[in-house]
Structure 1
Amino acid sequence: MTEWVEMLVTMADGPKQPVHGVVVPYRNTDEPWRFSYGSYGEEPVLPRLRHDGVHLYRWGRRTRIESMDGDPLFVSDGETAWDFTSSSERPRCTELRSVQFLGPGRELVITRPVNHWVRNHHARPTGPVTDVDFLGRRCWSVELAPRESRAMPRLSVRLVVDAASGAVLGQHSGDGVDGAVYMEVAVGSPIDPALFTWNGPVVTDAESRAQAGRGVPRRSDGAMQWFRENINAEPMHVPVLMDFTPRMVDLSDDESGAFSAPLGPSRESGDSPGWLIRRPRSQEPWRVKTHGFQVAWSTREFDWACAIYRGTLDAAAVAILQHQLHPGDPIVGAPQLVFGGSDGP
Structure 2
Amino acid sequence: MTEWIEVLKVLVDGPRLPVHGIVRTRNAEALGRTETVGFIGAPPMWVGTGGDDVRVWRDGRRVRVEKPDGSPLHLCDGTTAWHFDGAGAPPEYAPAGRVYYSGPGSELLISRSAQDWLHGDDFTQPTGPVTDGEFLGRECWSVELAPPSHKPAPIQIVVDRESGAVLHQGNEEFDVSVEFISIEVGGDVDDALFTWSADAVSMDERRAADSRAARAEYEEAQAARLSRLESDLGARSFTVQVPVDFVIADVDELGEDGSFAARVRSDAAPHVDGYLRRRAHQPGRWHVDSTGRPVHHWTAAGFDWALWFYGFAIAPEVLDQVQQHLHPGQTATDSFIETR
TM-score (ref. length: structure 1): 0.55
Query: Residue in 1 aligned with 2:7?
Result: 7
Instruction: Output aligned runs, 1:143-162, within 5 Å.
Output: 143-149=144-150, 153-162=151-160
- Give the drift of 1:31: 6.0
Residues 2-22 of structure 1: per-residue CA shift (max 9 Å, x gap): 111111111213311111111
Residues 223-270 of structure 1: per-residue CA shift (max 9 Å, x gap): xxxxxxxxxxxxxxxxxxxxxxxxxxxxxxxxxxxxxxxxxxxxxxxx
Distance in 2, Cα, partners of 1:180 & 1:191: 24
Q: Is the 8 A contact 2:73 2:84 kept in 1?
A: yes
Distance in 1, Cα, partners of 2:7 & 2:57: 21
Query: Residue in 1 aligned with 2:93?
Result: 93
Residues 82-114 of structure 1: per-residue CA shift (max 9 Å, x gap): 101256562111233433335321110122222
Distance in 2, Cα, partners of 1:174 & 1:207: 41
Query: Alignment length, in residue pairs?
Result: 212
Distance in 2, Cα, partners of 1:160 & 1:145: 15
Query: Residue in 2 aligned with 1:82?
Result: 82
Instruction: Output aligned runs, 1:9-158, within 5 Å.
Output: 9-27=9-27, 30=30, 32-38=32-38, 45-85=45-85, 88=88, 90-122=90-122, 123-149=124-150, 153-158=151-156
Distance in 1, Cα, partners of 2:96 & 2:52: 25
Q: Is the 8 A contact 1:62 1:77 kept in 2?
A: yes
Change (3 A) 1:126 1:40: closer
Residues 64-98 of structure 1: per-residue CA shift (max 9 Å, x gap): 00101011100112343210125656211123343
Residues 140-187 of structure 1: per-residue CA shift (max 9 Å, x gap): 0111111344xxx34311110100011110001251421201111011
3-state secondary structure, aligned to 1:212: helix
Q: What letter matches 2:200 in structure 1?
A: V
Q: Give structure 1 stretches of 5+ with no counterpart.
A: 216-345
3-state secondary structure, aligned to 1:100: strand
Return the structure number with greater relative CO, CA threshold 8 A, min gap 6: 1
Percent identity, please: 41
Q: Give structure 2 stretches of 5+ with no counterpart.
A: 214-340
Distance in 1, Cα, partners of 2:2 & 2:164: 13
Change (3 A) 1:37 1:201: farther
Instruction: Output aligned runs, 1:223-262, within 5 Å.
Output: none
Structure holding more helix per residue: 2
- Give the drift of 1:43: 7.3
Q: Is the 8 A contact 2:30 2:174 kept in 1?
A: no
Q: Is the 8 A contact 1:18 1:59 kept in 2?
A: yes
TM-score (ref. length: structure 2): 0.56
Q: What letter matches 1:90 in structure 2?
A: P
Q: Is the 8 A contact 1:41 1:214 kept in 2?
A: no
Change (3 A) 1:124 1:171: same
Change (3 A) 1:63 1:162: same
Q: What letter matches 1:147 in structure 2?
A: P
Distance in 1, Cα, partners of 2:62 & 2:152: 27
Distance in 1, Cα, partners of 2:21 & 2:48: 16
Q: What letter matches 1:213 in structure 2?
A: S
Residues 212-232 of structure 1: per-residue CA shift (max 9 Å, x gap): 3269xxxxxxxxxxxxxxxxx
Q: Is the 8 A contact 1:72 1:88 kept in 2?
A: no
Q: What letter matches 2:144 in structure 1?
A: E
- Give the drift of 1:132: 1.0
Query: Residue in 2 aligned with 1:190?
Result: 188
